[in-house]
Structure 1
C-alpha cells in the first residue's frame, strides 16, 4: 500500500506523512547512526508500543552490528492527551553499563515521558545516551528534552499510524494520518 501526503487514510483525516516520506527519513536516520556508531555496537531501546514499527525499520536499516531491548511506559492510557504521570510498565532485559544507547520513541510531545526515561536510563550508567524520535510536537513541550535524531516536526494535532494508535487501532498503517 503506498500513500501520498494530502490523500485520506482509513480514518477521517488526511495523510500527514506518506509511507514514502517515512521510509526515506528512516533511511536517512539509519545512515547517520551507521556513520556515528561504526565499530561501537549501539544498543537500540524501543519504547513500546508506539515506536515498534519505527524501531524495527531503523534496526533493519542501520546495517551495523547492534543490540536491542524494549521498555514500556504509560502516561496516556486510552486518552489522547498525557496524564502528566509516567509509569514504567515493562523494564529492560539487559544492563546498560558502558553501552552506547539510543532510545527510540514514536513521538516527543510534552517532554515529560522522555525526561523521565532519560533520567531513568542515565542512572544505569550507559557510555552514551541519545534519542531518536519519529515525531516531535515542540508547541506542546512542557520540559525541553534532547532529540538527537528526528524524523519530522509536526503541529499540535492528534496523529496515528506507523505504530501510533487511535484507541489501540490503526498502528498498522504505513503512514501518519490525523483526525479532522
Structure 2
C-alpha cells in the first residue's frame, strides 16, 4: 500500500520512491499547458486522444484547463515491464477513425522517454488523416530518447529516472499519488 503524503517516501511493491515534483508544481504547469492549447486551437473542437493508462489524470486536468469543446477518445499501448521499457510496442486499444479523420487531434501522453511508443503510434494516427496532431506530454526524458519524436508541448523535462504518481505507475501501483515520485535508488 502506498502513502499519499507528498512529503514522505512511498513504497510500491519492492521499490521505494522519493518526492520529485509537487502537486502544486504539476497543477500550475498543467494550467499553463491548457492555456497554450486554448491559444493554439482557438475556435477548434479537437479530439483529445488520451494514451492509457498513464495519461488519464494529466488528460482530465489538461482538458479542463484548455477550455476547448471537444470529444475524448482513448488509445492503449504498452511497452514497459517493471521499470524498463521493452522496446516493443503492443496496441491494445486503437483510436476511433471517425474521431480522427479531418479533425484537430490533441494526443495526450504521460511521458516520452525512449520515443519508441510515439515512433510506432504516430504513423498509425497519421494514416487516419487528421487535420492536425498536437502532441502534449507531461514529462520528457531527452537523455533517454533513442528515436526522434516531434513533441509540441512539454510539461517538464526530467532526468532519466523512473517516476510514478499523477497517473504513472510501477507495476500497477502509484497512479493515485497527487505528486510525482522518483525511484529512490536513482536519487
TM-score range, shorter chain: over 0.9
Tell me the equivalent position of 2:132: 128
Residues 135 and 152 in structure 1, CA contact (< 8 A), matched pair in contact too: yes
- The equivalences for 1:12-31 within 5 A come to 12-31=16-35
Distance 1:116 1:101 in 2: 17
- The equivalences for 1:38-77 within 5 A come to 38-76=42-80
Following superposition, the deviation at residue 66 of structure 1 comes to 1.3
Distance 2:52 2:124 in 1: 16
Q: What TM-score comes out, normalization by structure 1 length?
A: 0.93
Superposed CA offset, 1:147-176 (max 9, x none) = 111100110111000000011001000110
Distance 1:174 1:66 in 2: 26
2:110 is equivalent to residue 82 of structure 1:
no
Residues 10 and 18 in structure 2, CA contact (< 8 A), matched pair in contact too: no
- The equivalences for 1:1-180 within 5 A come to 3=6, 7-11=7-11, 12-76=16-80, 78-95=81-98, 96-180=100-184
Distance 1:138 1:179 in 2: 18
Secondary structure at the aligned position of 2:50 is classed as strand
Following superposition, the deviation at residue 2 of structure 1 comes to 7.5
Distance 1:150 1:174 in 2: 19
Following superposition, the deviation at residue 13 of structure 1 comes to 3.0
Residues 2 and 19 in structure 1, CA contact (< 8 A), matched pair in contact too: no
Following superposition, the deviation at residue 93 of structure 1 comes to 3.0
Distance 1:174 1:84 in 2: 28
Superposed CA offset, 1:2-32 (max 9, x none) = 84xxx43423332111000000011000000
Superposition RMSD on alpha carbons, in Å?
A: 1.4
List gaps (5 residues or longer) in structure 2: none
Moved over 2 A (4+): 7-14
List gaps (5 residues or longer) in structure 1: none
**Range that drifts further, 9-18 or 37-46:** 9-18
